[in-house]
Amino acid sequence: MLPDVLGPTRCRLPPPCPTSRCRFFRPTCLSVRRPPPLSHRSALWSPIMALLLRACARASRAAASRQVSTTAATPAAAAAAAVPTPLPTVSVTPGGVRSVPAGGGTTTILPRPIYLDTQSTTPVDPRVLDAMLPHLTSQYGNPHSRTHAYGWESEAAVETARAEVASLIGADPKEIVFTSGATEANNMAVKGVAAFYASKKRHVVTTQTEHKCVLDSCRQLEARGVEVTYLPVSKDGLVSVDAVADALRPDTALLSVMAVNNEIGVVQPLAELGALCRSRGVFFHTDGAQALGKIPLDVNALSIDLMSLSGHKIYGPKGVGALYVRRRPRVRLEPLIHGGGQERGLRSGTLPPALAVGFGAACAVAARDMPADEAWIAHLSARLLHGLTSQIEQVFINGSTEQRYAGNINISFAGIEGESLLMALKDVAVSSGSACTSASLEPSYVLRALGVDEELAHTSIRFGLGRFTTEAEVDYAVALAVKHVQRLREMSPLWEMMQEGIDIKSIQWSQEH
């Protein structure tokens, strides 16, 4: 069980609960699968909790000095300000930091917005943190040191994590290459395969809605003389298998198609694409960062040759990912990083045992909890969509409504500006697209590829639902979105013109010089 400092119980089961002190924020009760109590690791937890409490206390005092949200006392408070105040009692909750001074007087609350952006990242599952902690403190050996026990135990932990990652996608542990994340894995797959087979095959096929790191890798290949075909997608965001078949050539080395799109959540026909590539002698790579742990994946059944994976998308730590590289039939690729020859020479560099262990633990948890997570997220998704579409007109769902991951809901609201709505929804953490391109003011290239009008593309909001999302959070987000969409439309002359049946596109706006 986790210490009380991590927050109150948020179990969704009605009382009575057989595990009254459960501290996991789980959609269903999985008490029989919980790890053992941490009593045998109390010596480890004590210094960590002390550090956490001191850090929270410093943050609370700094916030109080900035007068974030304070309640003033009597005029005597000014004279008492010079007297040192006792160290406040601090508790950390998913909603923020609450500071209650031991001597009374001032209460400071730092609220945090509701988190509905799980496509950009996910919180670390407490069970994952539990698995990582020993490798951040006592088991700190280099996994590549073969001459002492510190290295042996770290190497064993890394290999166990490798097996856990492989098991989630039906692969052999020897086919998993640890990386720093999915971006590096995508670069390795696209550039590595193209470089190794450059003497015979100089053609790559991908789609227009791929992640930026895949598209930019393809542009790098074009600068080196490799021809790249960017296939369009239909209005529902899916690529046509027939279009892919027509694009493949005898000199095609690789097809790269994202499994689950990070912006609109559509699930591509992986089985059909894999079978097609296998029959044509083309390697099939898929970016599985948004699919891992969310939908069932089997690299052998889907005929996938390379798959990019990420740890922080499935409630694991940031800074770790993996690339699945098929051994039979063997896929060869040139490494991007050279050095000590780790990871079978494909990715040199010392592996971080704590991050690898966290990634493996996240995969193990996902393998056990996938049915429960899938059912819970589907329930929340239906609740969110019904709440929005039943109270707001002119709401458009971007992407296929059937072939999609339920936890990714990309919606456009006609008659408003997406940036204004994002600023209004400051109490809800959502996004207007990929976190990797959020700094750009241009409309999403993914939505433009679907044929979405530029005006609607600017009004899109992506809601990301996850394992720890609650019904109350969804209801609050719906109420806030309904309130501000109606307010912004009342202020918009364009919405009034749309209500009168005027085609906004047909208007020729005059410009005076």
| Exposed/middle/buried for residue 257 (C-beta within 10 Å: 0-12, 13-18, 19+) | buried
- Model confidence band, residue 419 (pLDDT cutoffs 50, 70, 90): confident
At the topology level, CATH places domain 126-366 in Aspartate Aminotransferase; domain 2 (3.40.640)
- Which pTM was predicted? 0.79
| Tens of pLDDT, residues 8-64 | 334 544 444 544 444 444 444 444 333 433 433 444 444 555 566 566 666 655 555
| Tens of pLDDT, residues 443-471 | 899 999 999 988 888 889 999 999 999 99
Contact 470, 12 (CB under 8 A): yes
| Residue 376 CB contacts under 8 Å (≥ 6 apart), including other chains | 27, 28, 467
Residue 492 is predicted with a pLDDT of 78
Closest CA to 365 of 94, 93, 26: 26
Residue 65 pLDDT more than 70?
A: no
Classify domain 370-503 by CATH number: 3.90.1150.10
Residue 90 pLDDT more than 60?
A: no
Residue 277 is predicted with a pLDDT of 98
| Tens of pLDDT, residues 129-151 | 999 999 999 999 999 999 999 99
Q: What is the mean pLDDT of residues 94-98?
A: 43
Is 436 noted as a catalytic residue in this protein? yes
| Tens of pLDDT, residues 153-183 | 999 999 999 999 999 999 999 999 999 999 9
Q: What is the mean pLDDT of residues 52-80?
A: 51
| Tens of pLDDT, residues 313-337 | 999 999 999 999 999 999 999 999 9
**Mean pLDDT of the residues in the chain:** 83
| Residue 396 CB contacts under 8 Å (≥ 6 apart), including other chains | 411, 412, 414, 456
Residue 33 is predicted with a pLDDT of 37
Q: For the chain, what are the domain ranges?
A: 30-112, 126-366, 370-503
Q: What is the mean pLDDT of residues 346-352?
A: 96
The pair of structure tokens assigned to 207 is: 């789609």
| Tens of pLDDT, residues 264-313 | 999 999 999 999 999 999 999 999 999 999 999 999 999 999 999 999 99
Distance CA 354, CA 418 (A): 39
Q: Which of 11, 17, 29, 436 is catalytic?
A: 436
